[in-house]
Structure 1
Amino acid sequence: MPEGHTLHRLADELAATFAGGAVRVASPQGRFADAAALLDGQVLEGAEAWGKNLFVAFPAERFVHVHLGLYGRFDVHAGVTEVPPPVGQVRLRLVGEGAYADLRGATTCALVTTEQRDAVVARSGPDPLRDDADPDRAWERIRRSRAPIGGLLMDQAVLAGVGNVYRAELLFRHRIDPMRPGTTLRRGQWRAMWDDLVGLMREGVRTGRIDTVRPEHEPEAMGRPPRKDDHGGEVYVYRRDGMPCHVCGSIVHTTELQGRNLFWCPRCQRRFRSRSLQ
């Protein structure tokens, strides 16, 4: 599933390509046809992301709400002289001056009002990529929960935009046991994690990939080959189960947590034991 940086890049790309101009709006697949007819020929006013939710703004306080889910894609093609016929199940097509964009496979594609958009945002935790994000909102949820921090970081009501990659890498970078209860985390630890996450995700927006290793652990510094993976980017533990940790050499482990694969290094992220149980 695309993580938050992907949605912010997409919002920026849609705004840069279409904002301020009238667009043709269609639903070749047909599932968004009624809403597309209402928007066809209107000016696309802008686009923004909140976590993994994308909102494309049109006049009269109408928004196209998109959630890509596991398999969705929203491909933007700029600088074209001809718009080709749609290929596959295109739920939404936008066509502007010398550009078009096709949405396929999304979990959500719906025309919503400002009130409905605000309701989606209200159910979401703070987004590290937004300037108006309040990390204390997430902290209040974390410090009251005995759920594993590895699960809390993926709960979009706690923290918006973090997926499996950022979750695993953030916990590794801060040497935190993924199974540690949220109630045992210290406020200073959380703020350090938040600040780190903001930096990592902003870099993801800039480059379009997730890179989390520090300079001393990059391939050139370690004399190792670059990572080859369809997710791209240099990482410490994500999808590296059975391989040696870049830091300590121990074998990276994996298990399932709340239906998703979790990756961690058992030496760098030692099992947390509460002092009350020691």
Structure 2
Amino acid sequence: MRSAIPTFPLFFLLLPTAACAEDAPLQKVEISAASGVQQRRDDTAAKIIVSRDDLAQYGDSSLAAALKRQPGVSVVGGEVRMRGLGAGYTQMLINGDPAPPGFSIESIAPEMIERIEILRGATAEYSMQAVAGSINVVLRKGASGAEREWKLGAGRQDGRWQPAASLRVADKLPGFAYALTGALERTADDVAGRTTETISDPAGTLLARRETRTRNASSVNKASLTPRLQWTFDNGDTIIWQSLLDWYRTGFDGVASETALLGMPTAYPRNGATSQASVFSARNDVNWAHPLGRRAS
């Protein structure tokens, strides 16, 4: 015959523990989460999406500044690199199509971008030529209602002003919608320097001493415009026309003046350099969508 084991002693043993737990003070509990940038940095997925809100959060004035914060992407002298590989291994796309020749990431303002898609490897969706990956810049779409937005900004660097302005106008009407985004920006710098050159013989006797003063001034002017028109007809057809206009101009003026403090000057004591470059690109996309039939209910 199996005997029953009394359970009341265990109950009394738990009473002191419960009483102590009620008398103990509550400990401070902190709950923290990683930021969106850190989550993208730790993400192991093959695709990273930089949304419109992420672009507006930091107030970047160029696409290059926005790309520098993304994991696995670096910008060196206007050249985009992924996974340490040069521009020849990284593909730039605009709305899923390869960027036109002469395209510069400095020419597109963040106000014109809806999102940035970063693909960390070659995919059959776009092209297998991008060994390091692809960066797809998706331009802003039409608005669901009336939009009026403009921004003015200015900065000062090396004693020179750097103004910027952007405008966004959009509206949706019966059967027609439009959106227009434009941006203007000028950046400039003026850097002066001085170098000293000395020549001595093996015995340490000073033979020549020359001082060179340099001054380099550069400027970048850029303008971008992205108009978008959409027509919707009674039969369900939709025609969308979107264009991207970019104008990009750079200028450089440099001078180097040498002064011989001891000994003879060099053969070219004074040098100057001037360069200018201007690039204009236009891109047009037209899409016509026609419904083939309605799904039966």
Greater per-residue strand proportion: 2
Greater per-residue helix proportion: 1
TM-score where L is the length of structure 2: 0.22
TM-score where L is the length of structure 1: 0.23
Which of structures 1 and 2 has the bigger CA Rg?
2
